[in-house]
Amino acid sequence: MRTYILRRVLTAIPTLFIISIVIFTILAAAPGDPLSQLALNPEVPPEVRENLRRALGLDDPWHIRYIKWVWSMAKGEFGYSFSSHIPVVELVKQRLPNTLAVVGIAYLIAALFALPIGVLSAVRQYSFFDQAATTFAFIGVCAPTFFTGLLFILIFSVKLQWFPFIYDTTLKIEDFDSLLKQIKQSIMPISVLALFQMGQLTRFTRASVLENLPMDYVRTAWAKGLPERAVVFRHVFPNSLIPVVTLIALSIPNIFAGAIITEQIFRVNGIGELLITSTLNNDTPVVMGLTFIYSVLVVLFNLVADIIYGFLDPRIAYE
């Protein structure tokens, strides 16, 4: 097992190196100018813009810029933002708590609800519960977050005035009142995301359990006279988890990447919001930094998923 992990970690190094080159090349080739906001400002003449360009290092040849970037990643800074002139890692540190508080909890809630619903749907296939869950899941999957988000804002903020739709990132939870405020402001973004994620996960779990139900070992379990709960939870459920674990493990990097649309709508200024505004403003060091961090997480959680397989299914062994 240990040699297997070591081997995987070592192969990850060239992978990440190639990823860094690809990210850099694509962004270097992409059109756009971080100073385009100044283009129409009569107070900022072209020579001032030229000077800024030089100061930001935009005039350097591409290989120099690449080496500078890799060096700054090696130092753990992941490059400097063009607009705020601070290391990307600082920006990530400020944003991560917001993203985890909303996107993380949404995924958690989605998983907690989706697994039992999925199992029950499969076991009681075509029952009323299954039909209802299926309908619900399809709505969740099909309704895009920008639609449900705006719908929620119109209903719960504008009409009913129950929840604020602008997330206050400076709120500190220190007493019951502020906790209540935090819950109130989190409900809408979390439910929008959870609804979406839950739909997918429910369908996955259901399909996976259905696949296992007609298996021989399940028939054996029934034949032994085990009660339904034991059959489902001791035998079927762990075996059906393998594809579900893949889905969850591979979506954990997504949690860190934030939810671009939902964060934007509710102004939860997390990682996703950072990524989209940096892209729009051509703040390429931030975009490169975030994309690279995301790549590292994807590579990492792929490995984690593979290790969990061995844990769930003894037949899968790594040496």
Cα–Cα distance for residue pair 174/156, rounded to 1 Å: 26
Rounded to the nearest angstrom, the gap between the alpha carbon of residue 74 and the centroid of all alpha carbons in its chain is: 24
From residue 175 to residue 194, what is the string marking binding to another protein with x (rule CB under 8 A)? ---x---x------------
* Distance from C-alpha of 114 to C-alpha of 150, rounded to nearest angstrom: 24
Q: Residue 7 has which token pair? A: 């081997």
CB of 264 to another protein, least distance (A): 6
Q: How far apart are CA 250 and CA 244, in angstroms?
A: 10
Could you tell me the sign of the dihedral formed by the alpha carbons of 143, 147, 150, 151, in that order?
A: negative
Looking at beta carbons only, is 18 or 86 nearer to another protein?
Answer: 86
Q: Is the CB of 137 or the CB of 244 nearer to another protein? A: 244
Tell me if 305 contacts another protein by CB under 8 A.
no
Q: Which two tokens stand for residue 223?
A: 């034949």
Out of 2, 3, 55, 126, the only residue in the binding site for another protein (CB under 8 A) is 55
Of the pair 213, 304, the CB lying nearest another protein is at 304
Minimum Å gap between C-beta 174 and another protein is 6
Q: Which of residues 274-293 bind another protein (CB under 8 A)?
A: 274, 277, 280-282
Instruction: Give how far Cα 82 sits from Cα of 23, 45, 53, 269, 270, Å.
Output: 17, 19, 10, 18, 18
Q: Does 39 bind another protein (CB under 8 A)?
A: yes
Helix (H, G, I), strand (E, B) or coil at 203: helix
Phi/psi region, residue 310 (left: phi>0; alpha: psi -120 to 50; beta: rest), is alpha
Instruction: For the CB of residue 200, give the shortest distance to another protein in the complex, in Å.
Output: 18
Number of residues that bind another protein (CB under 8 A): 77
Q: Compare residues 18 and 166 and give the one whose CB is closer to another protein.
A: 166
Among 33, 64, 144, 219, binds another protein (CB under 8 A): 33
Residues 98-137 that bind another protein (CB under 8 A): 98, 100-101, 104-105, 108, 111-112
Nearest 5 degrees, angle CA 191-CA 199-CA 312? 110
Residue from 42, 61, 225, 314 touching another protein (CB under 8 A): that is 42
Which window, 15-23, 89-97, 123-131, 198-206, contacts another protein (CB under 8 A)? 89-97
- Contact letters for another protein, residues 191-230 (x by CB under 8 A): --------------------------------------xx
Backbone angles phi, psi at 189, to 5 degrees: -60, -40
Closest listed residue to residue 276, CA positions, set 267, 266, 264: 264
Which H or E run includes 263? helix 260-266
Q: Residues 73, 153, 188, 209: which binds another protein (CB under 8 A)?
A: 153
264 binds another protein (CB under 8 A): yes
The residue from 24, 204, 237, 292 that contacts another protein (CB under 8 A) is 237
